Amino acid sequence: MPSIIAVELAELPYRVSQNEVMVAIKCMFQHRYEHIDRLLSIFQHDHIQSRSLVQPLDWYMQTHSFAEKNELYIEHAVRYGKEAIVRCLHRANIVFEDIEAIFFISTTGIATPSIEARIMNELPFSVHTKRIPIWGLGCAGGAAGIARAVDYCRAYPKAKVLVLAVELCSLTFQMDDVSKSNLIGTSLFADGVGCACVVGDDVQQQSVTPQVIDMQSVFMRNTEDVMGWDIKDQGFYVVFSRHIPTMIRQSIGEIVELFLGRSRIKISEIEHFVLHPGGKKVLDAYRDGLHIDEDKLAHAIAVLQQYGNMSSVTVLAVLQRFLQQSLTPRGYGLMMAMGPGFSCELLLLKWGDEA
């Protein structure tokens, strides 16, 4: 079975505390909300302590055109995408020329040629490297990207491929959007760039890494208004339903049970939960819907505290913590993320003995 052998993140230039963001938002919106202090309480109740940004905080307190923001998206995506790739390949001990395909994941900017093509002009990949840009999966994109890379490696067992996820959520911020969705999104979302390396079964490995033994996508019909973008003259305007945690709580148990049942595994047999931490309410919904203890979410909580919600990159950051912890995990793991559609991406992992 294909394996995930390395995950690395780029180090973005600006770190801000949750309190700093809250003060900035209060400064920008206090004259447009009657009860701004009550609304700002969401910044204090979502686990997040700090986040990374690609621009200094005061830059966001000025008006910028869609064109300017998208130009910055391309510039930063290439710069920090390169950094994440170099770190990942170094960790995996693989050279650029051996990479057969690059899956590029993003939902926060637009580029044609796509970002991985621009990166290939600056790093020594083979000119025959396949490019698979995937746009629009939002928070589910990291898990989906890994799954599509696994599909590739199942077909080509000798393959070594990369999944590069770039989400510069801060560049989508809209100063003129007084909706509650915008305020909630601003309290949660952050910038992040991550890269994972997936290899086929015939690639020799020097350490214990998680094999992917099953995958499934679940699409929930007629839920396109739950999460996504409204695209207007000034760019992306967030669509973010308050019903998301309730939907997860009500559906996730059955979704996971049916998925694991294909491999004759029960939720109680899952040792490692590699879950996308969309926010505190989402983590609570996972805990309640899957009937698991909070300590099973320790890595997800730590990532949310340190990085906020980096959309598709976040689940890669959680997986990185499992790969880099001092004691190698053993047993089954569940990698999962939910995103626009509304949809769910699931992967069954196994560390240790041959799957």
Q: Which residue has the tokens 């650029």?
A: 96
Neighbours of 185 (CB within 10 A): 20
- Any bridge partners for residue 168, and if so which? 191
Reading the block at residue 28, the tokens are: 């920008």
For 17, the 3-state DSSP assignment is strand
CB 291 within 8 A of CB 251: no
Give 33: exposed, middle or buried? Use CB within 10 Å, 0-12, 13-18, 19+: middle
Identify whether 344 is a catalytic site residue.
no
Neighbours of 58 (CB within 10 A): 8
Q: Which of 139, 153, 169, 195 is catalytic?
A: 139
H/E stretch holding 292: none
Alpha-carbon gap, residue 112 to 135, rounded angstroms: 12
CB 346 within 8 A of CB 143: yes
Reading the block at residue 171, the tokens are: 């560049």
CB 162 within 8 A of CB 103: yes
For 44, the 3-state DSSP assignment is helix
Cα-Cα-Cα-Cα dihedral sign, residues 101, 316, 320, 253? negative
For 9, the 3-state DSSP assignment is strand
Which distant-in-sequence residues (6+ apart) come within 8 Å of 109 by Cβ? Answer: 69, 70, 73, 74, 77, 166, 168, 171
Task: Show which residues are catalytic.
Answer: 139
